[in-house]
Amino acid sequence: MKKILSSRSWRIIMPLILGTYIAEITLILSAFAYPKLSAKDMLFSYVLENGRIYLVNAILPVFLVYLGYLLTRRGWVGYLLGAIPSLMIGMVNYYKISLRSDPLLASDILLAAEAGDIMSQYQLDVTPEIAL
Strand runs (DSSP E) across the chain, as ranges?
Answer: none
Q: Would you say residue 84 has pLDDT above 80?
A: yes
Q: Which among 41, 46, 48, 50 is positioned nearest to 23, based on CA atoms?
A: 46
Q: What is the pLDDT of residue 6?
A: 59
Residue 87 binned pLDDT confidence (cut-offs 50, 70, 90): very high
What span, in angstroms and rounded, lies between the C-alpha atoms of 102 and 92? 11
Q: What is the mean pLDDT of the chain?
A: 83
Give the residue with greater pLDDT, 55 vs 47.
Answer: 55
Q: Sign of the CA dihedral 52, 56, 62, 66?
A: positive
**66-70, 89-93, 110-114: least confidently modelled range:** 110-114
pLDDT at 57: 87
Q: How confident is residue 103, by pLDDT bands cut at 50, 70 and 90?
A: confident
Tell me the average pLDDT across 84-106.
89
Identify the CA nearest to 22 among candidates 51, 67, 50, 64. 64
Say how many C-beta atoms besides its own lie within 10 A of residue 124's C-beta. Answer: 11
Q: Considering only CA atoms, which of 49, 31, 48 is closest in space to residue 40?
A: 31
Q: Give pLDDT tens digits for 3-37.
A: 655 577 778 888 899 999 999 899 888 888 888 88
- The H or E element spanning position 49 is none
Residue 83 near residue 61, CB atoms below 8 Å: yes
- 114 falls in which pLDDT band (50, 70, 90)? confident
